[in-house]
């Protein structure tokens, strides 16, 4: 007779949609053997849906300003105009950064910034954001521009008295190729009233992402986890993201969510009120890994690409997440400001060789991809990696996987 855990895991592996009750049950489990079984099921589902190859993208972050009108309680990035540490890049600097990225093999620029009310051309916000894109695309037409969260779309619409659909259409014409699904944080307005009370509400985030899909703009999806949210709110977030993807697919939208990224809270330099309430400066790797596995099982066949944040978890932690349901290790980034200014210890950029070496430690092939998960070049097998096969796993990997090693031996009744 299968146990309740076995029934849930077997349903997920059969590509059935888990219920919120089942998802919450997985997050409530504390037994190490049962957690190991959850890890093994997530890893098995990953293999079923996307295989063993681990993908990565060569990209660069381009944060054009940290001047922002909002005051999110988790954010150490934002500044007021004129405040120490405030920056606003000029056109030439942004183009130089993008040109340098392409020279290093980048296929993507990820562009986001603070909500700067002074960022206007002829008194309008939309022309400024259009120029941001054209400044790059006119010189680098083949570069994929992954830019502007739903929050930025709503900000432009509000500033210029436009509809969100009009803003998305204009940005797409200017050269935006896809949207980052950031600003989601947790899709629960009770949580949002505490951590980001000035941000768009959950319904607005979902609406703008859905609009983007209908207009042919692919998006990513994210969750900011490990702060004040409850397990029930985490599952509710996953449920809404899954439902959004189901609507985009079943209604024939020309675009959809390409990936899910879990973003654990880093509080070391965050505003003191939330930092004190959370009581932790760096992410909890065990809790993040368990939520990573549950996200894979809950989102199932609807969102098949899952990515950890090496900036937040460190490369060793991100590599370990590849054993808990993730199939992508993210990008080179080249520079990173938002999380690093919050006190993250993962670094600001990685080389392709470093990403490939981390993947090789797991005995899995590495494959460069573009933003939309199309393969670039040929996969690199572990034996082709520059990392000697006899090298030990990166620091931090061994201690976090003792229970997980038992997972394949944990019996589940079919």
- Is residue 393 in some structural domain? no
Query: How does pLDDT run across 241-285, given as a tens digit for each residue?
Result: 999 999 999 999 999 999 999 999 986 666 666 766 776 667 899
Enumerate residues 6+ apart whose C-beta is below 8 A from 244. 206, 209, 210, 221, 257
Query: How does pLDDT run across 290-349, given as a tens digit for each residue?
Result: 999 999 999 999 999 999 999 999 999 999 999 999 999 999 998 765 555 555 555 678
- Is residue 407 in some structural domain? no
What is the C-alpha to C-alpha distance for residues 172 and 165, in angstroms, rounded to an integer?
11
- Is residue 117 in some structural domain? yes
- Is residue 401 in some structural domain? no
Domain that holds residue 27: 4-385
- Tokens standing for 376? 């670039």
- This prediction has a pTM of 0.91
Helix locations, 120-217, DSSP H = 125-137, 150-160, 164-174, 189-195, 202-214
Query: How does pLDDT run across 81-133, given as a tens digit for each residue?
Result: 999 999 999 999 999 999 999 999 999 999 999 999 999 999 999 999 999 99
* Residue 260: strand pairing partners: 221, 306
User: How many domains are there within the chain?
Assistant: 1
Closest CA to 344 of 257, 226, 234, 240: 226
Closest CA to 240 of 217, 212, 207, 198: 207
- Is residue 396 in some structural domain? no
- Is residue 413 in some structural domain? no
Cβ-contact 333, 60 below 8 angstroms: yes
Which CATH number do you get for residue 290?
3.20.20.70
- Is residue 392 in some structural domain? no
């Amino acid at each position: 007779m299968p146990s309740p855990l076995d029934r849930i895991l077997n349903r997920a592996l059969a590509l059935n949609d888990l219920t919120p009750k089942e998802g919450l049950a997985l997050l409530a489990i504390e037994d190490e053997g049962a957690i190991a079984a959850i890890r093994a099921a997530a890893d098995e589902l990953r293999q079923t849906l996307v295989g063993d190859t681990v993908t990565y993208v060569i990209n660069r972050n381009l944060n054009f300003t940290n001047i922002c009108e909002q005051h999110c309680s988790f954010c150490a990035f934002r500044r007021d105009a004129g405040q120490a540490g405030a920056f606003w890049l000029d056109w030439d600097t942004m183009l130089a950064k993008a040109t340098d990225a392409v020279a290093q093999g980048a296929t993507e620029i990820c562009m986001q910034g603070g909500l700067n009310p002074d960022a206007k051309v002829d008194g309008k916000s939309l022309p400024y954001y259009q120029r941001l894109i054209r400044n790059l695309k006119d010189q680098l037409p083949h570069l994929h521009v992954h830019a502007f969260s739903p929050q930025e779309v709503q900000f432009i619409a509000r500033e210029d008295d436009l509809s969100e659909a009009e803003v998305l259409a204009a940005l797409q014409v200017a050269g935006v190729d896809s949207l980052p699904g950031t600003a989601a944080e947790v899709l629960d307005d009770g949580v949002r009233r505490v951590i980001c009370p000035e941000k768009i509400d959950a319904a607005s985030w979902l609406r703008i992402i859905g609009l983007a899909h209908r207009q042919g703009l692919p998006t990513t999806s994210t969750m900011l986890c490990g702060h004040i949210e409850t397990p029930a709110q985490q599952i509710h977030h996953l449920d809404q993201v899954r439902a959004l993807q189901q609507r985009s697919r079943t209604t024939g939208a020309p675009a959809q969510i390409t990936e899910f990224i879990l973003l654990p809270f880093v509080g070391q330099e965050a505003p003191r009120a939330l930092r004190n309430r959370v009581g932790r400066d760096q992410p909890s790797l065990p809790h993040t890994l368990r939520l990573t596995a549950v996200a894979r099982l809950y989102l199932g066949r609807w969102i098949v690409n899952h990515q950890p944040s090496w900036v937040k978890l460190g490369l060793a932690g991100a590599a370990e997440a590849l054993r808990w349901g993730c199939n992508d290790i993210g990008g080179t980034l080249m520079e990173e400001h938002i999380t690093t200014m919050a006190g993250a210890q993962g670094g600001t950029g990685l080389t392709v060789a470093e990403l490939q070496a981390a993947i090789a430690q797991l005995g899995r092939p590495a494959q460069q991809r573009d933003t939309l998960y199309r393969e670039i070049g040929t996969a690199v097998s572990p034996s082709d990696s520059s990392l000697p096969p006899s090298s030990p796993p990166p620091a931090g990997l061994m201690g976090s996987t003792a229970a997980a090693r038992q997972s394949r031996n944990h019996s589940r009744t079919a």
